[in-house]
Amino acid sequence: MDKNSIQLISSINFWKGKINISSIKGGITNKNFLVVDGSRKYFVRIGDDIPEHLVFRSNEVQASKAASKIGICPKLLFNKKSIQVFNYVEGKTFESEDIKKNLDNITKLIKKVHTKIPDQLIGQSVIFWVFHVIKNYKNFLDEHKSSYIKILPDLLNKAVKLESISSPFEIVFSHNDLLPANFIQDQEKIWLIDWEYAGFNTPLFDLGGLASNNDFNENEEKYLLENYFEKKLSTELLIKYKAIKSASLLRETMWSMVSEITSNIEFDYKSYTAENLTKFNESFDEEFKIN
C-alpha cells in the first residue's frame, strides 16, 4: 500500500476509533481498500477526476446515492474530493460464470438500473455517449502522439458506420461498466458497484457490454435480449445490438490506449489493448465489414 493513500484514509473525519487498512486488489482505474473500524467494515475508494476518460467524481457520487436509494448499491457514507466510503458487502465477487448462472436476476437488476435510478437523481446528470467517447479518445490519442496514431482514422470510420447502423436510439440511465467484478452477491441479493461511468445511454450498451465482458455465446445473447425486452428478438433489434456491442469493444480498446499513456496503476494496459482490439476487429469484420 502506498503511504499517500494510507494518510488520506486516516485523515478523514469519519472514523470512530483506531482503524486497520488493507488493500483490495483488482481495480484498474481506482485504488480500493477495506477499512476496519472497531466492529464495522467499510469499502474505501480513492480516485481523482479523470478528464481524459470523462470520469468526474461528482457524477459518480450522485449515481451511487441514487443506486443506493433503490437498494442495488451499498450506501455511500462519506465522500470528499477523491475519497469515498461505502458500507462493506461481505459476499462473492462475480466472475463470468457467475454472471451466466445468475442471468435472470442480473437482467432484472440491469432493468431496474435503467428504469428506477432516474427517479432518484438530484441535480445535473450526464450522458455517456459511446460514439462521443470514442471521438474524444481519438482526439486525445492524436494530441499525445500515441503509438496507435496510424490506425485511429480507420477506427473512427468504423465507429461512424456503427453509429449510423444503430440509430435511432432509446435512452435510459445506464451503468456503462458491467464487468463481472462489479457484481457482488451476499446472502440476500446481488449488488452492483462502481458507478464512475454512469449516465444516460442506450440500454444496448449495458447489454452489449455485459455480453462481451463475459463471453456470451449467441444463445446466451438471445436469451438476455428477449428477457430484457420481454419479446421475441427481431432482426432490426439484433443488428442494432450487435453494432452497439461492437462499439463497446472499441470504446474499451481506446480506453486502454489512453490508459497506457496516463495511468500510474500497475496493470498491463498494452496487453489489454491488444486483447480488446482483436475482439473489436473480429466483431466488426464478422458483422459490418466495409467491402
Q: Are 208 and 241 spatial neighbours (Cβ–Cβ below 8 Å)?
A: yes
- 83 and 156 co-located in one domain: no
**Closest by CA position to 177, among listed 198, 156, 152:** 198
- 228 and 168 co-located in one domain: yes
- 115 and 258 co-located in one domain: yes
**Closest by CA position to 249, among listed 153, 159, 161, 164:** 159
- 156 and 255 co-located in one domain: yes
- 47 and 142 co-located in one domain: no
**Closest by CA position to 208, among listed 197, 198, 216:** 216
| Domain containing residue 36 | 3-87
Q: In the block, which residue shows the cell 500500500? A: 1
**Closest by CA position to 128, among listed 114, 147, 139:** 114
pLDDT of residue 126: 87
Residue ranges in the chain whose pLDDT is less than 50 = 291
CATH code at position 17: 3.30.200.20
Helix (H/G/I), strand (E/B), else coil: 145: coil
Task: Dump pLDDT digits (tens) for 148-186.
Answer: 999 999 999 999 999 999 999 999 999 999 999 999 999
> Considering 87, 121, 150, which residue would you say is the last residue of a domain?
87
Total residue count of the chain as it appears in this document: 291
Show the cell assigned to 152. 485511429
Q: Are 125 and 200 spatial neighbours (Cβ–Cβ below 8 Å)?
A: yes
pLDDT of residue 179: 94
CATH code at position 145: 3.90.1200.10
**Closest by CA position to 261, among listed 57, 50, 81:** 50
31: CB partners within 8 A, 6+ apart: 2, 5, 23, 45, 46, 47, 265
pLDDT of residue 278: 96
pLDDT of residue 106: 98
State which amino acid sits at residue 288. Answer: F
pLDDT of residue 290: 55
- 153 and 267 co-located in one domain: yes
- 55 and 168 co-located in one domain: no
> Considering 87, 122, 142, which residue would you say is the last residue of a domain?
87
- 156 and 174 co-located in one domain: yes
- 70 and 101 co-located in one domain: no
Burial per residue of 132-141, b for 16 or more beta-carbon CB atoms within 10 angstroms, e otherwise: ebbbbbbebb
> Considering 27, 52, 87, which residue would you say is the last residue of a domain?
87
Burial bucket for residue 55 (CB in 10 Å: 0-12, 13-18, 19+): middle
Question: Mind giving me the DSSP string for 68-92?
Answer: HHTTSSPPEEEEETTEEEEEPP-SE
Whole-number Å distance between alpha carbons of 28 and 143: 23
Q: What is the signed CA dihedral for 211, 247, 140, 53, rounded to 10 degrees?
A: -40
Question: Mind giving me the DSSP string for 236-269?
Answer: HHHHHHHHHHHHHHHHHHHHHHHHHHH--SS--H
pLDDT of residue 104: 97
- 106 and 26 co-located in one domain: no
User: What is the SS3 assignment for 147-201?
Assistant: CCHHHHHHHHHHHHHHHHHHCCCCCEEECCCCCHHHEEECCCCEEECCCCCCEEE
- 167 and 75 co-located in one domain: no
Q: In what order do the strands lie in the sheet with 31-37?
A: 19-24, 31-37, 40-46, 83-87, 76-80
Q: Are 262 and 29 spatial neighbours (Cβ–Cβ below 8 Å)?
A: no
- 104 and 196 co-located in one domain: yes
Domain tally for the chain?
2
Helix (H/G/I), strand (E/B), else coil: 14: coil
Q: The whole model's pTM is what?
A: 0.92
